[in-house]
Amino acid sequence: MAEPRYEMLSTDLSPVSDEVAVLYFDDGNPVREHFVCYRVAGPERQPRYAVAHIAAEDTDFYDYLGAPPSERGLEEYGVYRVHDSDRVAGYDQHHIILCLSGKTIEFTGLSFGIRGPTEGRSALAVLLEHVRASRPSG
């Protein structure tokens, strides 16, 4: 297999600090979901956040304590898609790395998206509201 290549995604929704909240959701369904909320650029008095969502079916690969970005030649803050990854399999064809102040969060999945920016008082508050709004009521 070829060496992995890293493509930086939307710089408008790139992380700007290490403030992050993470939720892994597994309700017994074959598709498991990961949500990561992080701070993006905006006024200090009105913090803004983005929520990354990935749904995994076949690989269920994730690493919330991945190798530092500098070990891979990545920016300290950013969201990357990995091309030619040996981690993808079956329906899970997205391999994503979020770089946050010298740390990485990495996962594979069958779908990936980022929503934002959303104002809020903390990454956790925005994440909980996002997940509540995205789940079917009942």
Binned at pLDDT 50, 70 and 90, residue 127 comes out as very high
Q: Which residues of 17-26 are buried (b: 16+ CB within 10 A; e: fewer)?
A: eebbbbbeee
> Over pLDDT 70: what percentage of the chain?
98
Evaluate if pTM is beyond 0.85: yes
Is residue 38 predicted with pLDDT exceeding 90? Answer: yes
Range of the domain at 78: 5-134
What is the pLDDT, as a whole number, of residue 137?
65
- Angstrom distance (rounded) from CA 4 to CA 112: 19
Place of tokens 């892994």: 24
Q: Write phi, then psi, for 133 (nearest 5 degrees).
A: -70, -25
The total domain count for the chain is 1
Is residue 100 predicted with pLDDT exceeding 80? Answer: yes
Binned at pLDDT 50, 70 and 90, residue 119 comes out as very high
